[in-house]
């Protein structure tokens, strides 16, 4: 909070003379533990415990002295420590280590640079000793029943004394029972609305205590990780999004927050500024003025002193107006300015199926940034708001999913706040799965460091926090791409020398697509033109066989005519010196009772044969395996397409063992397809890692049914990247000549 002109220095000095000097010379720590009010003294300190002790001290000060500048300072500092990007645990040796004490003083000097010396002294005492002598003295001077009731912010000091003395209510539990029995309102001393306010606050305190008990005591800044979800949702869950839609939705949210708000500033910040910032400053300033008045009057009642007091009041009012205007202006600007937001969590890793979105905001004022988000049109309602985490429900009509034209499901959005000072390590923490982050912490410990989401520490000295590159460098690691931070294959990738992973430009051809011969919306020529424009040098047209009758699947005779047409198209390309080529292909059904949907004599005339299961997906695993074996053993089948048949958000996959697929693909010289349709992304990451281990080449194909689906190739490449796949692991990174030579050799071996 900005200083209130020159009054900050003068009044803090006056307040120290009249009250702060009593901080010195207190006795031993108190052993009073009233009504869950106290943090357990003597335990190791962390940010939450420090914040609670400071808040307790503020409440006790306010009760005994009335609202004062110092009470306000303690409350503001308590709020600061709840979101402070420095884990207090690293200063556990500050009482005995001069170096750690020096680091602590520097940290406090930076984060509390506008604080009074009294507050700095108290905060350092709390961090190094786990207690606060000011709080302990105030506790000794305060009745136990008052201490318990002080947790209720709706009660004034007069109200607390009244319900103790007149209504005989000594603690929060008894007060709750009195509210339930309507005792307060029936007494005539409280209105029904006041009674309801007290009761609601008691319920809020109980809920907060329950949540705190469930979460445990946060340590090392890891509380920001407690809301992350490592699980992959069920493929058949209607609320599950496939990555392409989720990424588009995330981009929409970032674009919205990167633009100024449409309403006026007053409409935007109205209640927030008036009810929180400005009124808080006024209360604090009035408390200071009251202290100054008592100071002057108690020492000099002359006319001259009264004139000095009047002049001081005029100066004070002027400074108060100026400070209020400055705060309102800065908050209005902050609320209306664009936010720097990045994707983190599952969507940043490119996870194929997800049911929530996570974002990281760069800000020094989380409350202001969260207010900006809550005012956005895409927010339906707020779920939770904590010091550094905001969760909201997306308004379902705010966005239409671009890859299936459906409204968004009930998606929860999580926003995490971090300053630029800690951006690098927070980004890594929020983008990593638990397995990856735990391994980074383990490696840091082996080097004598402590890794937290807010920085890498050598003792109490922060040695990395701003950039991702420096963090990995200090852990003697290459920068691990976000897509690999899942604890699945990144360490194997590093052990193999961090080879270059697959990129879209590496893919030379698309070996699975459909045309107007069956259920495609474009003919062979149109698909070829678009594929060429995307930088591909060949495609395979693979229309359906007769078993898929609903889309006009073709029989053996029709396929022979179809391939004659493709041969004629290739002759025209050759005559015009166009190097682009189209492979004669088919997507042949693996039948429910075994066998394939085209005769071997027909398949022998194809350049490329894709085998897949479309019917009988719910058969037992043994039966599914027998059907796949028929395809593996057929000498003319080249690749198994979309091996699990899953449809994200619609249908779960086939019950098939991936070891079985990889073993038999290796044994019979077949390939496995990574289907790039965004609703499929089949295979998943784990089977792809297994295929790489077995040495089974992957084919990344689009299964496109329209020209506009040919760019879907990038979704399959991303999925392969997540599995640590290199260009050498993918068949269709070969040139056309290399591919045809490879297929010819394969067929000769089969014959």
DSSP states along 503-561: -GGG--EE--B--TTTT-SS-HHHHHHHHHHTT-SEEEE--BBTT-GGGT-B-HHHHHH
Task: Please determine, for residue 1, whether its predicted confidence score (pLDDT) is greater than 50.
Answer: no
Of 113-117, 186-190, 275-279, 479-483, the range with the highest mean pLDDT is 479-483
Q: For the residues 343-351, what does the mean pLDDT come to?
A: 97
Q: Lowest mean pLDDT of 15-24, 219-228, 230-239, 625-634, name the range.
A: 15-24
| DSSP bridge pairs for 461 | 458
Q: What is the CATH number of domain 504-750?
A: 3.20.20.140
Predicted structure pTM score: 0.81
**Residues 50-79, buried b or exposed e (16+ Cβ, 10 A)?**
bbbbbbbbbbbbbbebebbbbbbbbbbbbe
Please state, in angstroms and rounded to a whole number, the distance separating the CA atoms of residues 724 and 496.
11
Task: Please determine, for residue 543, whether its predicted confidence score (pLDDT) is greater than 60.
Answer: yes
The answer to whether 229 touches 354, Cβ cutoff 8 Å, is no
Q: For the residues 87-106, what does the mean pLDDT come to?
A: 90
701 compared with 196, residue with greater pLDDT? 701
649 compared with 226, residue with greater pLDDT? 649
278 compared with 503, residue with greater pLDDT? 503
Please state, in angstroms and rounded to a whole number, the distance separating the CA atoms of residues 671 and 687.
13
Task: Please determine, for residue 161, whether its predicted confidence score (pLDDT) is greater than 50.
Answer: yes
Task: Please determine, for residue 431, whether its predicted confidence score (pLDDT) is greater than 80.
Answer: yes
Position 311 scores a pLDDT of 67
Q: For the residues 381-401, what does the mean pLDDT come to?
A: 92
Position 164 scores a pLDDT of 86
Position 195 scores a pLDDT of 87
Average pLDDT value for the chain = 85
Q: Lowest mean pLDDT of 228-232, 336-340, 445-449, name the range.
A: 336-340
Position 344 scores a pLDDT of 97
| DSSP bridge pairs for 672 | 640, 698
Task: Please determine, for residue 126, whether its predicted confidence score (pLDDT) is greater than 90.
Answer: yes
- Closest alpha carbon to 183 in 165, 171, 168: 168
Q: For the residues 148-172, what does the mean pLDDT come to?
A: 85
| Cα torsion through 357, 362, 365, 369, rounded to 10 | -40
> pLDDT digit string (tens) for 37-58?
555 445 678 888 899 899 999 9
Position 604 scores a pLDDT of 95
pLDDT range class, residue 740, cuts 50, 70, 90: very high
Cα 232 to chain centroid distance, Å, stands at 14
Position 26 scores a pLDDT of 31
CATH fold of 241-259+339-495 reads Beta Polymerase; domain 2 (3.30.460)
Element (H, E) at 640: strand 639-640
Contacts of 169 (CB under 8 A, 6+ apart): 149, 163, 175, 178
The answer to whether 421 touches 251, Cβ cutoff 8 Å, is no
Task: Please determine, for residue 281, whether its predicted confidence score (pLDDT) is greater than 90.
Answer: no
Task: Please determine, for residue 24, whether its predicted confidence score (pLDDT) is greater than 80.
Answer: no
* 585 CB neighbour count, 10 Å cutoff: 25
**Could you tell me the residue ranges of all domains in the chain?**
7-215, 241-259+339-495, 265-273+288-336, 504-750
Q: Lowest mean pLDDT of 124-128, 309-313, 607-611, name the range.
A: 309-313
262 compared with 249, residue with greater pLDDT? 249
79 compared with 638, residue with greater pLDDT? 638
Q: At 133, list the tokens.
A: 């002598």
Please state, in angstroms and rounded to a whole number, the distance separating the CA atoms of residues 747 and 163.
92
> pLDDT digit string (tens) for 3-12?
223 333 333 3
- Closest alpha carbon to 179 in 55, 187, 567, 231: 187
Position 565 scores a pLDDT of 97
């Amino acid at each position: 909070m900005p200083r209130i002109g020159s009054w900050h220095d003068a009044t803090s000095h006056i307040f120290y003379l009249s009250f702060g000097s009593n901080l010195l010379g207190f006795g031993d720590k108190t052993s009073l533990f009233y009504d869950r009010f106290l943090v357990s003294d003597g335990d190791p300190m962390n940010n939450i415990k420090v914040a609670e002790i400071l808040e307790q001290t503020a409440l006790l000060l306010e009760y005994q002295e009335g609202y004062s500048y110092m009470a306000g300072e303690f409350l503001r500092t308590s709020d600061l420590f709840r979101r402070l990007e420095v884990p207090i645990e690293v200063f556990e040796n500050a009482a005995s280590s001069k170096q750690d004490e020096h680091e602590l003083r520097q940290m406090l000097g930076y984060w509390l640079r506008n604080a009074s010396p009294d507050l700095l002294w108290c905060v350092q005492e709390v961090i190094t000793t786990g207690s606060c002598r000011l709080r302990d003295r105030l506790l000794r001077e305060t009745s136990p029943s008052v201490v318990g009731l002080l947790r209720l912010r709706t009660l004034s000091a007069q109200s607390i004394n009244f319900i103790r003395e007149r209504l005989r209510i000594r603690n929060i539990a008894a007060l709750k029972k009195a509210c339930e029995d309507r005792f307060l309102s029936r007494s005539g001393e409280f209105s029904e609305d006041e009674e309801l306010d007290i009761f609601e606050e008691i319920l809020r305190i109980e809920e907060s205590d329950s949540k705190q008990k469930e979460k445990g005591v946060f340590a090392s800044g890891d509380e920001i990780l407690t809301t992350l979800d490592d699980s992959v949702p069920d493929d058949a869950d209607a609320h599950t999004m496939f990555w392409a839609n989720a990424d588009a939705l995330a981009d929409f949210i970032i674009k919205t927050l990167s633009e100024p708000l449409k309403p006026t500033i007053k409409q935007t910040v109205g209640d927030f500024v008036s009810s929180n910032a400005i009124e808080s400053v006024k209360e604090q300033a009035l408390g200071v003025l009251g202290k100054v008045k008592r100071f002057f009057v108690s020492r000099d009642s002359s006319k001259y002193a009264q004139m000095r007091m009047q002049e001081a009041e005029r100066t004070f009012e002027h400074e108060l107006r100026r400070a209020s205007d400055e705060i309102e202006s800065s908050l209005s600007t902050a609320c209306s300015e664009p936010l720097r937001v990045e994707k983190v969590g599952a969507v940043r890793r490119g996870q194929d199926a997800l049911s929530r979105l996570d974002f990281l905001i760069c800000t020094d004022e989380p409350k202001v940034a969260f207010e900006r988000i809550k005012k956005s049109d895409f927010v339906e309602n707020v779920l939770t708001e904590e010091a550094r985490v905001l969760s909201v429900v997306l308004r379902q009509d705010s966005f239409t999913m671009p890859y299936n034209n459906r409204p968004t499901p009930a998606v929860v959005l999580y926003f995490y706040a971090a300053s630029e000072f800690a951006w690098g390590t927070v980004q890594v923490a929020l983008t990593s799965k638990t397995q990856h982050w735990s391994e980074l912490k383990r490696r840091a410990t082996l080097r004598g460091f402590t890794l937290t989401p807010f920085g890498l520490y050598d003792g109490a000295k922060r040695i990395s926090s701003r950039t991702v590159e420096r963090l990995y460098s200090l852990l003697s690691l290459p920068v691990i791409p976000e897509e690999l931070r899942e604890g699945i294959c990144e360490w194997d990738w590093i052990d193999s020398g961090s080879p270059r992973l697959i990129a879209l430009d590496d893919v030379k051809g698309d070996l699975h697509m459909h045309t107007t011969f069956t259920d495609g919306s474009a003919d062979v020529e149109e698909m070829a033109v678009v594929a060429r424009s995307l930088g591909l040098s060949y495609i395979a047209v693979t229309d359906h066989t007769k078993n898929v009758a609903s889309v006009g699947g073709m029989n053996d005779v029709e396929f022979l005519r179809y391939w004659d047409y493709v041969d004629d198209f290739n002759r025209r390309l050759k005559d015009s010196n166009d190097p682009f080529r189209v492979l004669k292909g088919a997507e042949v059904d693996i039948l429910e009772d075994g066998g394939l949907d085209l005769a071997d004599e027909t398949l022998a005339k194809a350049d490329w044969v894709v085998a897949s299961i479309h019917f009988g997906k719910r058969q037992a695993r043994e039966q599914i395996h027998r059907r796949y074996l028929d395809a593996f053993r057929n000498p003319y089948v080249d690749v198994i397409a979309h091996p699990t048949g899953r449809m994200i958000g619609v249908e779960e996959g086939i019950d098939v063992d991936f070891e079985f697929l990889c073993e038999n693909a290796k044994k019979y010289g077949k390939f496995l397809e990574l289907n790039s349709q965004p609703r499929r992304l089949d295979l998943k990451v784990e089977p792809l890692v297994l295929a790489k281990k077995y040495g089974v080449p992957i084919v990344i194909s689009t299964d496109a049914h329209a020209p506009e689906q040919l760019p879907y190739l990038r979704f399959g490449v991303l999925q392969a990247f997540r599995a640590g796949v290199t260009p050498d692991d993918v068949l269709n990174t070969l040139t056309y000549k290399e591919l045809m030579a490879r297929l010819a050799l394969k067929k000769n071996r089969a014959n």
